Amino acid sequence: MKPLLRYLLPTVAGASEVTNLADSEMSVGGTDDKKVARSNHQRLLAIEIFNSLVKSSHKNKELMLALSSHVELISSVLVSILKSSDTW
């Protein structure tokens, strides 16, 4: 869940602003640059995948529990997305 949520954010550095997200594992393409910008296409794909998870959770109780256990993290990511919406 955390690597997917990190891809919703505009940069890897932006992930450190969100609680508990900086500790998750994610490939940044083998670079050590912590300000790697995500393309809008990458972010939109991650949003589509996350949207699919949310829709699927209506039928899958385990997925619903997984999402509900990360509500605070999901909310903070969504707030970060809204704050950066003018750059889209």
Entry pTM: 0.67
**Which residue type is seen at 64?**
M
Domains in the chain: how many in total? 1
Task: Show the domain range for 75.
Answer: 2-87
pLDDT tens for each residue of the chain, 88 residues long: 888 888 888 776 656 556 556 554 444 444 455 567 788 888 889 999 999 999 999 999 999 999 999 999 999 998 988 888 777 6
- 37 forms beta bridges with 11
Half-sphere exposure of 47 (CA within 13 A, CB side): 14
Q: For residue 17, which phi and psi values (nearest 5 degrees)? A: -75, -20
The answer for residues whose C-beta is within 8 angstroms of residue 58's C-beta and 6 or more apart is 64
Angle between helices 71-83 and 61-68 (to 10 degrees): 60
Structure tokens at 83: 């704050």
